[in-house]
Structure formats: structure tokens, C-alpha cells
């Protein structure tokens, strides 16, 4: 989620005069504050001002400010009527006088001046005491606008209406002229013969001189006696900056401007300079304010949007200050924790702690936050009701522009449902859903543990590989449901013939594995094997039929045959095959010298090496359809090997070998290229949009050149990357290393889709799943098989579908064989389906005939 930009710095940033933000009014105020009572006569007020050289006086009564009288107001005095000099200041003052606090920032002050159209403000301190008067000029002068002054010449202010009175004219006439023409000074001409220089010829009479006249209560006077002489002048091309410095240094407020030919062309006052500056300033300010208003509006809109998103988010959101005190929470927070905003705001998030995490856990969390500015993980917290629940928590430290930590934002989701599903899937992933026996994975775990035991106790253990004879025939002739019942019965008999602490597991299909612990010697294993062969041979009654199945059994012994779990299983497997060769219905102990299977392997390996150059490999294609309407959506490319002396060899039989030998790398590249070439032919023939699914084995995925290979195949075959989906298995991803994730991201960056194949048979850590950039889950056909008959598989498939959807993934069911299975999958909202119910994998010509253009 985007956090709205803080608003205040924005305002400061766009104001034209940056330093104005720091300066406050009390620093620039004229502290020379003159005050008088309301009944004081004008001449007296004027006298005080002249004496102190200030331009205004406050009218105060009983400590209340009534108004202000300024030099400007003095021009309004009627010099013809001496009585006006004695008029009470109350009658001539301007009122009211606004006050501002001394702490007000200059730029705020500028805004006030502009908005209220006043020229003077009374500045007060924190206790309301009057500090001084601040005028518009003070503010403008302090806005740091030297650059403006340096750029402009005094000539730019010349308006051309120079007012000159002869020295013989009276003060009354001057005041009248000044008032009517809006001047604060006039030039007094002493005549060309009075001096040799221009300055000497001219003098000046100002507002201030008139105010002095008011103070002296003298009537009219000749200007010649009143004027200040000589007139200070400057050249037309002087910069305003220089002129201002000149005025300041001489303590004067007016200057004459000389043209290039030396003639006096204008009288410029400090005010003129100011008003030019003011104009520029106000202009810029206006600009800045407009920009600010716009920015404010848009950030308010963003804020509003962000607020809405936070409010309606399904994730709990909590914002704290830098000290980790809660500032705000959203409705989802209340929903999940049971706490209302009133109950938590101002408190520490530790009130949510469940006590399940150690202090060291929190210490690491803080370390992560300090070092990286964020932390993510699973945490157990406590609801208000006391219930403890798991959540996926994401904390971000928020810093302002200067890098100061200001807030923490915590986003969390309740993952108890996810955890439940995960536990169920894990449960199912360790047990065979059909027989309830441990599966291969759990067996391998247990065998490791038992080997450790046996090593410590210095005793033997045996691994028995049990395989039903001719099970496939029963399955094919009597149907899967009979086959399944038979397997359940065999499992029960195995279990019933063994001790409590022996392990029985189903390896898949009709293969079982048994671990016998605590053996006295190899004879004991042989005796148990014989007993099992006998027990399994007894007739089984299923659906009114009597079936007799025999078993072949291979035995390997720890530590005699091997000390390693994998090898023990392999050796038991080899021994089992020997039992089959010997005529079935029997058992064999493993003897290394008699490893017939390894010879078989060797022959197959040699043949497989030649398969690629001899072009014995080909692809079959199986359709994936939209589960809702049966429309063709994708095709999975499945590898076949046409061995010259054999039937078509199933990938299940040679891919493990290809993986072991590394041949899978060139073979896999051939598969990918060939699948893309077929896709191109499909496109060129005008087939419906089609996604091509290609299986990738673990060895390929880890290969250094894999990414580059995919990239160049895409380019060479002009394959649109979006039309290609790679099928990976859970076990390839479950190491969860950064490298794995990086590789997935790189593949995604190529634009290809990623699917998890055989989902449900691996570790199924859903928290990991969340971190992977994948688009699709393919539910293993083992689970699909049982859904219309067995409730446990049905529930599991439903859980996987809803889980997949909650993670935003498409879900595919593979191995769909019956209308009943399809109906259930449709009911659960499964997206795509694949299986014999729709079509078996087909050779390309048959696939095109069935689904291609014109089909």
C-alpha cells in the first residue's frame, strides 16, 4: 500500500523563499513601539514619532489597543485649519489593529497580509505583551530577495511623473499635492542658478517633514526652508540592490534618478522599491499558493483513497508512532483481534502477545526492522477472547524525508485456516490416503530413525519390499474399485501379521515396504518373510468374488547389506525382483553378487544415450480443458521413447534413469524445443489459442544453463512466452533458498508461466507457496482418483482448490477419469481438468485431428 506523502513539508518546499520558513515575525519586528492615549492631540503624537524617527504610533487605552496612526495618515491633516492639529488622535487613527503572535512564521505572515489587505500588524509575545509593529515592508524585505534586487535597475521603476515644486511654494501646497497624487515626497527646485550641480539645485520635502510641521503646530511655511538639500541621486542603470544599500547607509528614504544626460527624471522612494518587490513577491506567492492548493487537493484525494483502502482491507492494519505506541487500527484489525480502536490506541502492541515467542524472537524482529526497515514472518498472537492464533505479519518502518523514523505500519493476516489446511495436507502427505498407512516419505524418515537406533543398540533391522504378483491384471479386468479394496485388505493383513513397533508403508501402486526392528539375526527376518507370504496368499473376498493374490518379497538387512537407508530399500527391491524371476509367491534375501537389475540398468542406459541422436524420442500431447465447459485451453507435452526393440517406453521407466545420468539436460532441451515447434505449427495452421505445458525435472531446473536455454529456445522458435508454462514439482522448490526463488523470478521475467505439478504429494508448506511466483497448481491424480468414492480425498481436493484460489492461483485437476470426478471438481470451482475422461495423451497428428482447426 502506498502511504500518503506528509502534507506539511510540501507547503514549505514550494514556497518561493525557502528561508522564510525558519524566520519568525518576532525576529524582524520593529521593536521601537510608540504608544499614546486616544485623547492625545495629533501634534503631540506626531512630535513623538518625529522624535523617535518611527512611522507609526499605537493608540492604547486601559491596555487595550484601539487603533494606529501613521505618517500616511498625517498627510490628511488640514494645514489651513490649525485646530486640526489639536484634534484627538482617536479621530484620525486607523482601526482595528490585528495582532499576530511573535512565533508566527514569516511565510504565514505573508499569507495573512495578502488575504486581509492590512498593512500593519501588532506583534505580541506568548503572554500577550506587545512587542512591536510589523508592516508589509518588513515582511517583504525579509524574504531573502536579494536576487530580485540585483537583477533590476532603478530605471525600471521610473514612471515619468516627476513632481517638482518651486522653493517658494508653501508646505500646505506640498501636502495637498502629495495627498492627491499619492506621493510621500516632492522635489523642491531651488533654481538652476542656486548651485552648480543637479544635487545642489534640488531638495526634498517628505511626509516626515510634514508630520514635523504638525508637531510644531506652525502654519504654512515656504518649502525652501523646509526642504532637505542636496538631493541624493543615483544613475538610471544602477541596480536596485545598490540603491537600497545607498538609502540604508544614508538613513534616507528617497533618491533622485538621473538620466544618462544628467537630467533629473524621477524621485524614487524606498516604498517604490518595496512595492516593486512586493509585486514580484505576491506574484510568486500566488503561484506557490496555487501549486500548494493543487498539491493539497491531490494529496487529500490520495489520502482519502488510502483511507478507504485501509478501511476496507481484509488485512489487519496497525500504525504506531516511533515509540511503538498504537496510533490507529482498521476494522479488519478489530475483527481479527477483538479489540476496538478505543481499547488499543495509545497502548503498546505487546498487549497482543501470546507469550509463545521468546524474547530472543522479538529481539531478532527488532534487529531486522532496524537493519532493513522491514520484517516479515509468522507470529502467534492472542485475541481479546484469549484465543491464540497464527498470523502472517509484515512490519515496515516509515521514515520521513530526512530519514527520521516516524512510524511503524504492521499488516497482518490471520492464517489459522491456512495452517489447518496445511496440517491436513501434511498429514495426507505423510500417509497413503487409500490404506491409511505411512507413505514413502514417512517410511524414509522412520527408516533413518530406526537405523540410528539399531546402530546404538548394535542390533539388526530388516527392510522387506513387498510387491503383489499380477496386480495389474486384476486392476484392468475387474476395475479400480476392486483393485483398491484388495490393496486395503492386503494392508490390513500386513499390519495384522507384524509387531506393533514394526513399520508398514505403502510405496505407491501395489508396492509395500516393511521395517522389522530389533532382529536377533537374518534368520528372524527370513521367518517373518515366509509368514507374510503365507498370510497374503489366503483368499480375499471382494464384491462377492474370491480372489487369490500372491506376493513376491525381497529382504535386505542392516548392517550386513548396507548401512544406508536408500541402499537398503534398493537392495530389498532388487531381491524382490529376483523372487519374481524365481517364479513368484516367494521371498529372497539380497545378495550383492546377484544384482541382475543393475545389468538391466546398464543396457537401458546405453540405449538411452543413443535415443536422442537416433531420433527415437517423440512427444505425445494431452489436452487440458476448462473444467466448466470442456473448452480446450492447453496441452501437456509428454515424452515417449520408441526403442527399436521395445514397445513405446513410458517416461516413468526411463526419466529416473535420464535424471541419474544427467541425460535429462539435453533430452529436456529437446522436449522444450520440440513442444515450441509444434506450437508454432499449431499457430500457423490457425488453431485456437493454446498454452503448451512442459515438464521440467529437478536436475534440469538446477542446471546452470537452464535459464539461458529457455530464453534461446523461446527466441529460436518465436514462441510467445505467455503460451508456455513450465511444470515444476514441489520438491524442487521446497529448499526455499533465495537461489530457487531468484531462478523462478528470472523465469517469470522471461514471461513464461509456472505450474506446480503433482501438488499434494510433497511437503506442501503453504507459507513457502506464498513466496513463489507461480500461477498454477496441478493436483496430483492420486487425490483426484479417490474423490468420488472416498471422502478424505474429496475434502483434500476441495481444500487444495480453495487454498489455490486464496493464493490467486489457477487450479488444475489431473487424472480425471469419470463424470463423477468432473462433477465434484466443477462443484468446487476447479479451473482446468486433464485426464482420460477427456482424452489420453495423443500423438501430434491425432491431437491436431481432434482439436485443431476444422476438427
Cα-based torsion angle of the residue sequence 398, 400, 402, 404 in order, rounded to the nearest 10 degrees: -50
Q: Report in angstroms how near the CB of residue 832 gets to ligand C2E at its nearest.
A: 13
Cell numbers at residue 523, please?
534368520
- By a kind-dependent CB cut-off of 5 to 8 A, residue 603 interacts, out of ligand C2E, Ca ion, none, with none
Which does residue 655 bind out of Ca ion, ligand C2E, none, counting CB within 5 to 8 angstroms by kind? ligand C2E
CB-CB contact of 747 with 732 (8 Å): no
Closest approach, Cβ 302 to ligand C2E, in A, equals 48
Looking at the Cβ atoms of 556 and 821, the one nearer to ligand C2E is: 821
3-state secondary structure of 6: coil
List of residues 6+ apart from 198 with CB closer than 8 A: 231, 233, 256, 258, 262, 263, 264
Which option in Ca ion, ligand C2E, none does residue 276 bind, with CB closer than 5 to 8 A by kind?
none
396: its cell numbers: 515496515
- Among 585, 581, 613, 584, CA closest to 597: 581
Select 69 or 844, whichever has its Cβ closest to Ca ion. 844
CB of 707 to Ca ion, least distance (A): 20
Phi, psi (rounded to 5 degrees) for 54: -115, 165
Which H, E and C letters describe 544-601, residue by residue? CEEECCCEEEEEEEECCCCCCHHHHHHHHHHHHHHHHHCCCCEEEECCHHHCHHHHHH
DSSP string, 723-749: GEEEEEEHHHHTT--HHHHHHHHHHHH
Nearer to ligand C2E, 73 or 814 (CB): 814
Residues near ligand C2E (CB under 6 A) are 622, 638-639, 650-652, 655, 668, 671, 695-697, 757-758, 781, 814-817, 835-836, 841
Q: Do the beta carbons of residue 117 and residue 84 sit within 8 Å?
A: no
Q: Distance between CA 263 and CA 237 in Å, rounded?
A: 14
Nearer to ligand C2E, 551 or 834 (CB): 834
What is d(CA 55, CA 34) in angstroms, rounded to the nearest whole number? 9
Nearest distance from C-beta of residue 781 to Ca ion, angstroms: 6
- Residue among 49, 38, 214 nearest 133 (CA): 49
User: Of these partners, Ca ion, ligand C2E, none, which one is at the site of residue 450 (CB under 5 to 8 Å by kind)?
Assistant: none
Cell for 15?
514556497
| Contact yes or no for 466/526 (Cβ under 8 A) | no
In angstroms, what is the minimal distance from the CB of 778 to ligand C2E?
Answer: 7
Are the CB atoms for 633 and 624 separated by under 8 Å? yes
Report, in Å, the least distance between residue 838 CB and ligand C2E: 8
Q: Return the number of other C-beta atoms located less than 10 Å from residue 173's C-beta.
A: 15
C-beta of 330 vs 700, nearer to Ca ion: 700
Place of cell 483434500: 796
User: Residues 21, 14: contact at Cβ < 8 Å?
Assistant: no
Binding site partner of 651, from ligand C2E, Ca ion, none, Cβ cut-off 5-8 A by kind: ligand C2E
Q: Which partner from the list ligand C2E, Ca ion, none does 815 bind, CB cut-off 5 to 8 Å by kind?
A: ligand C2E
Closer residue to ligand C2E in complex, CB, 548/652: 652
Q: Which residue is nearest to ligand C2E (CB)?
A: 835
Min separation Cβ 501 and ligand C2E, Å: 35
The item of Ca ion, ligand C2E, none sharing an interface with residue 835, based on CB under 5 to 8 Å by kind, is ligand C2E
Nearer to ligand C2E, 815 or 852 (CB): 815
Nearer to ligand C2E, 337 or 695 (CB): 695
Q: List the single partner that 622 binds among Ca ion, ligand C2E, none, CB under 5 to 8 Å by kind.
A: ligand C2E
Residue 335 Cβ, how far from Ca ion at the closest point, in Å? 39
CB 765 within 8 A of CB 748: no
Q: Cβ closer to ligand C2E: 266 or 757?
A: 757
Residues 6 or more apart whose Cβ sits within 8 Å of residue 781:
814, 815, 835
- Nearest distance, CB of residue 794 and ligand C2E, angstroms: 17
CB of 755 to Ca ion, least distance (A): 8
Nearest approach in angstroms of CB 785 to ligand C2E is 7
Least separation, in Å, of the C-beta of 637 and ligand C2E?
Answer: 6
Residue 417: C-alpha distances to residues 424, 773, 781, 810 (Å): 11, 22, 25, 20
Rule CB under 5 A: which residues touch Ca ion? 695, 727, 757-758, 814
- How far is 41 from 88, CA to CA, in rounded Å? 4
* Among ligand C2E, Ca ion, none, residue 123 binds (CB under 5-8 Å by kind): none
Pick between residue 352 and residue 655 the one whose CB is nearest to ligand C2E: 655
Is 278 or 758 the residue whose CB approaches Ca ion more closely? 758
| Contacted entry of Ca ion, ligand C2E, none for residue 671, CB cut-off 5 to 8 Å set by kind | ligand C2E
Distance CA 503, CA 515 (A): 5
Between residues 278 and 510, which has the closer beta carbon with respect to ligand C2E?
A: 510
Amino acid at each position: 500500500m502506498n502511504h500518503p506523502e506528509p502534507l506539511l513539508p510540501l507547503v514549505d518546499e514550494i514556497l518561493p523563499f525557502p528561508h522564510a520558513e525558519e524566520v519568525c515575525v518576532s525576529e524582524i519586528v520593529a521593536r521601537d513601539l510608540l504608544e499614546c492615549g486616544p485623547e492625545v492631540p495629533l501634534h503631540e503624537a506626531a512630535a513623538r514619532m518625529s522624535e523617535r524617527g518611527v512611522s507609526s504610533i499605537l493608540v492604547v487605552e486601559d491596555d487595550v489597543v484601539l487603533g494606529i496612526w501613521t505618517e500616511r495618515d498625517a498627510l490628511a491633516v488640514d494645514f489651513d485649519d490649525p485646530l486640526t492639529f489639536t484634534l484627538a488622535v482617536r479621530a484620525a487613527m486607523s482601526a482595528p489593529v490585528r495582532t499576530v503572535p511573535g512565533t508566527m512564521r514569516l511565510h504565514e505572515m505573508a499569507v495573512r497580509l495578502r488575504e486581509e489587505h492590512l498593512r500593519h500588524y501588532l506583534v505580541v509575545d506568548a503572554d500577550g505583551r506587545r512587542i512591536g509593529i510589523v508592516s508589509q515592508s518588513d515582511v517583504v524585505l525579509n524574504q531573502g530577495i536579494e536576487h530580485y534586487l540585483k537583477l533590476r535597475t532603478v530605471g525600471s521603476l521610473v514612471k515619468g511623473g516627476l513632481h517638482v515644486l518651486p522653493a517658494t511654494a508653501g508646505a500646505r501646497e506640498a501636502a495637498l499635492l502629495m495627498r492627491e497624487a499619492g506621493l510621500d515626497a516632492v522635489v523642491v527646485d531651488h533654481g538652476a542658478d542656486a548651485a552648480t550641480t543637479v544635487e545642489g539645485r534640488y531638495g526634498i520635502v517628505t511626509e516626515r517633514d510634514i508630520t514635523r510641521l504638525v508637531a510644531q503646530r506652525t502654519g504654512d511655511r515656504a518649502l525652501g526652508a523646509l526642504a532637505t538639500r542636496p538631493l541624493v541621486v543615483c544613475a538610471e542603470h544602477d541596480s536596485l540592490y545598490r540603491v537600497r544599500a545607498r538609502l540604508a547607509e544614508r538613513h534616507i528614504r528617497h533618491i533622485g534618478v538621473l538620466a544618462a544626460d544628467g537630467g533629473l527624471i524621477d524621485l524614487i522612494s524606498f516604498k517604490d522599491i518595496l512595492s516593486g518587490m512586493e509585486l514580484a513577491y505576491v506574484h510568486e506567492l500566488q503561484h506557490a499558493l496555487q501549486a500548494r492548493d493543487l498539491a493539497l487537493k491531490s494529496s487529500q484525494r490520495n489520502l482519502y483513497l488510502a483511507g478507504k483502502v485501509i478501511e476496507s482491507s481484509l488485512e489487519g492494519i496497525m500504525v504506531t508512532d516511533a515509540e511503538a505506541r498504537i496510533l490507529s487500527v482498521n476494522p479488519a484489525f478489530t475483527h481479527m483481534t477483538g479489540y476496538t480502536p478505543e481499547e488499543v490506541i495509545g497502548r503498546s502492541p505487546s498487549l497482543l502477545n501470546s507469550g509463545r515467542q521468546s524474547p530472543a524472537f522479538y529481539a531478532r524482529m527488532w534487529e531486522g526492522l532496524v537493519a532493513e526497515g522491514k520484517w516479515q514472518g509468522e507470529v502467534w498472537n492472542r485475541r481479546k477472547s484469549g484465543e491464540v492464533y497464527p498470523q502472517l505479519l509484515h512490519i515496515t518502518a516509515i521514515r520521513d524525508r530526512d530519514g527520521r523514523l516516524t512510524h511503524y505500519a504492521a499488516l497482518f493476516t490471520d492464517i489459522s485456516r491456512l495452517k489447518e489446511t496445511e496440517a491436513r495436507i501434511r498429514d495426507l502427505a505423510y500417509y497413503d490416503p487409500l490404506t491409511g498407512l505411512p507413505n514413502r516419505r514417512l517410511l524414509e524418515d522412520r527408516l533413518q530413525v530406526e537405523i540410528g537406533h539399531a546402530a546404538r543398540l548394535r542390533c539388526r533391522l530388516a527392510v522387506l519390499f513387498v510387491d503383489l504378483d499380477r496386480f495389474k491384471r486384476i486392476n484392468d479386468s475387474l476395475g479400480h474399485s476392486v483393485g483398491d479394496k484388495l490393496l486395503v485388505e492386503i494392508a490390513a493383513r500386513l499390519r495384522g501379521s507384524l509387531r506393533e513397533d514394526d513399520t508398514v508403508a505403502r510405496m505407491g501402486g501395489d508396492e509395500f515396504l516393511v521395517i522389522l526392528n530389533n532382529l536377533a539375526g537374518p534368520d528372524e527376518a527370513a521367518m517373518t518373510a515366509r509368514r507374510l507370504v503365507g498370510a497374503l496368499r489366503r483368499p480375499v473376498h471382494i464384491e462377492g468374488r474370491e480372489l487369490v493374490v500372491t506376493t513376491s518379497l525381497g529382504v535386505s538387512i542392516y548392517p550386513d547389506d548396507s548401512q544406508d537407508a536408500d541402499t537398503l530399500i534398493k537392495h530389498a527391491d532388487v531381491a524382490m525382483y529376483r523372487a519374481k524371476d524365481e517364479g513368484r509367491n516367494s521371498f529372497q534375501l539380497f545378495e550383492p553378487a546377484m544384482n541382475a537389475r543393475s545389468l538391466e540398468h546398464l543396457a537401458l542406459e546405453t540405449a538411452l544415450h543413443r535415443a536422442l541422436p537416433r531420433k527415437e524420442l517423440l512427444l505425445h500431447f494431452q489436452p487440458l480443458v476448462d473444467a466448466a465447459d470442456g473448452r480446450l485451453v492447453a496441452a501437456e507435452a509428454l515424452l515417449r521413447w520408441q526403442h527399436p526393440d521395445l514397445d513405446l517406453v513410458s517416461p516413468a521407466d526411463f526419466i529416473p534413469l535420464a535424471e541419474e545420468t544427467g541425460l535429462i539436460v539435453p533430452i529436456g532441451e529437446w522436449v522444450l524445443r520440440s513442444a515450441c515447434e509444434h506450437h508454432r505449427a499449431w499457430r500457423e495452421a490457425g488453431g485456437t489459442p493454446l498454452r503448451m505445458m512442459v515438464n521440467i525435472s529437478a536436475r534440469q531446473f538446477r542446471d546452470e544453463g537452464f535459464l539461458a536455454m529457455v530464453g534461446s529456445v523461446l527466441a529460436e522458435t518465436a514462441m510467445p512466452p505467455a503460451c508456455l508454462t513450465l511444470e515444476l514439482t514441489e520438491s524442487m522448490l521446497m529448499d526455499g533458498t533465495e537461489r530457487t526463488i531468484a531462478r523462478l523470478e528470472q523465469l517469470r521475467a522471461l514471461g513464461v508461466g509456472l505450474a506446480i505439478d503433482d501438488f499434494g504429494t510433497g511437503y506442501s508448506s503453504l507459507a513457502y507457496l506464498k513466496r513463489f511466483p507461480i500461477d498454477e497448481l496441478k493436483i496430483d491424480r492420486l487425490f483426484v482418483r479417490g474423490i468420488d468414492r472416498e471422502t478424505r480425498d474429496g475434502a483434500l481436493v476441495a481444500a487444495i482448490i480453495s487454498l489455490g484460489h486464496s493464493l490467486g492461483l489457477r487450479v488444475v485437476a489431473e487424472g480425471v477419469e469419470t463424470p463423477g470426478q468432473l462433477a465434484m471438481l466443477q462443484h468446487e470451482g476447479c479451473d482446468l481438468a486433464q485426464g482420460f475422461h477427456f482424452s489420453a495423451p495423443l500423438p501430434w497428428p491425432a491431437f491436431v485431428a481432434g482439436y485443431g482447426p476444422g476438427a
